[in-house]
Amino acid sequence: MDKSKSEILDQISELIITGNYKLIVEITQKALDNDLSSDEILNSGLLKGMEIVGIKFRDGLIFLPEVLMSARAFKAAMNIIEPLLIKDTKSNKSGIGKVLLGTVKGDIHDIGKNLVGIMLKGNGFNVVDIGVDTSTEKFIDAVDKECPDIVGLSAMLTTTMISMQKTVQALKEKFQNKIIIVGGAPVSQSFADEIGANGYAKNAIEAVELCKKLLAIKN
């Protein structure tokens, strides 16, 4: 990659870290105009920046208002690249399955869940997103109404892993054959196994592969 392209990506990371939700719109557009792909912008710009935000927050170098600004900047840039991410990955098939997504009760993190939704859409899945801080009852009602093939739960806090467990158990009791997948930073394959989920994905790309695999087994 030439120097000017990597400089633009570094600038995008920096704008995430500083939470500059206005300038990032301009620079993300500049990145596209300079032939950087939506994938490169996401992985080597936005996610790289957000990883540093997480480390600085953990180490007490920045505080919640700064993290909120970073999240706002992330979403502003995503608004620009989302249609391209969907187009870049769009398969010929559409409607290959329906996935209902939500972040569990007590948890308002949604950037990762949204990214999972975007990648699933890009790969031909119909996605119904029921948002954040989602109670077990809301998941159950939505599954009743939407009849998805797969239900996906996201949790980003160790404290909300318990909500995930409760909701998975309730969904399993009410809908015996429903496929349930889980993900989020503190979640692991062993936790997924422990709570009776059908699958775990580490990131959005793995979530797409997992959904395809689980649907193929079902059909």
> Would you say 21 or 35 has its CB closer to ligand B1M?
21
> Would you say 33 or 52 has its CB closer to ligand B1M?
52
> Would you say 33 or 53 has its CB closer to ligand B1M?
53
> Would you say 36 or 204 has its CB closer to ligand B1M?
204
Find the shortest distance in angstroms from Cβ 25 to ligand B1M.
17
Q: What is the DSSP letter of 183?
A: E
* Interacting residues of 147 by C-beta distance below 8 A, sequence separation 6+: 98
Find the shortest distance in angstroms from Cβ 167 to ligand B1M.
12
Find the shortest distance in angstroms from Cβ 182 to ligand B1M.
6
* Tokens of residue 81, six digits: 């690249």
The widest CA-to-CA distance across the chain, in whole angstroms, is: 55
Residues 16, 21: Cα–Cα separation, whole Å: 8
> Would you say 158 or 189 has its CB closer to ligand B1M?
158
Find the shortest distance in angstroms from Cβ 4 to ligand B1M.
26
CA 90 to chain centre: 17
Residues 48, 22: Cα–Cα separation, whole Å: 19
Find the shortest distance in angstroms from Cβ 63 to ligand B1M.
9
Residues 12, 212: Cα–Cα separation, whole Å: 32
Which residues here bind ligand B1M, judged by CB under 6 A? 47, 50, 53-54, 57-58, 64, 67-68, 71, 101, 106-113, 115-116, 152-154, 156-158, 181-186, 201, 203-204, 207
Residues 54, 10: Cα–Cα separation, whole Å: 17
Residues 160, 158: Cα–Cα separation, whole Å: 6
